[in-house]
Amino acid sequence: MNKLTDNIDKARAASRERLETAKEKATETSAMAREKMSESKARAAALLGDGREKAAESVAATKDAAKKAIAKSEETVSNSPLAIVAGGAALGILIGMLLPKSQAEGKYVGRAGRKINETAKTAYQAAKEASRDQIGQLGFSNDNLREQFKDLFSKAIEAAKTAMAAAQDAVKEDNQGKK
């Protein structure tokens, strides 16, 4: 029986030793996991701070670009008002031509609409010829006006995109501030 008791005692001692080793490993692993978690949290906070900084810089750059585009547009309008009027008229006509005719328009306007349309076409042709004459007298060329209009139109689109992005950023910042 002594031998059996000795074996049981040895088994208990070995079990205790294994339990202590497992506890030590669990404690070490837990400490390492906490340390890694803390490092990850610090890195995430740093990245978030960098992201906020870059977003603020982008918003400032966008606002500057929008202000410059507005100033350039105002300068273009001041320097070439006739080109702006002609461009606006051309854009309005283009939009009007692209819009489909509705059934209600055909039903209610009918002949009167066709008459108005014909009169408008005649007026447009007369205005077109008169503006060409006037532009020629002022020394502008079609290519010059076309380039100015393209430049103005592209700047207006760029200003609109910039303003839209700034507005989106402001809304995002506002929403993040509320959370």
Does residue 139 come out as left (phi exceeding 0), alpha (psi in the -120 to 50 range) or beta?
left
Angle among Cα 92, 145, 67 to the nearest 5 degrees reads 75
Taking 70 as the threshold, does the pLDDT of residue 106 lie above it?
no
Confidence tier at 71 by pLDDT (50, 70, 90): confident
Give me the residue label for tokens 């070995």: 14
> What pLDDT is stored for residue 38 in this prediction?
86
In the predicted model, what is the mean pLDDT of the chain? 77
Q: In the predicted model, what is the mean pLDDT of residues 84-98?
A: 71
> What pLDDT is stored for residue 130 in this prediction?
74
> What pLDDT is stored for residue 26 in this prediction?
84
| pTM recorded for the entire structure | 0.33
Between 134 and 11, residue with greater pLDDT: 11
> What pLDDT is stored for residue 138 in this prediction?
66
85 token code pair: 């009027």
Best CA proximity match to 57, nearest among 176, 159, 169, 177: 169
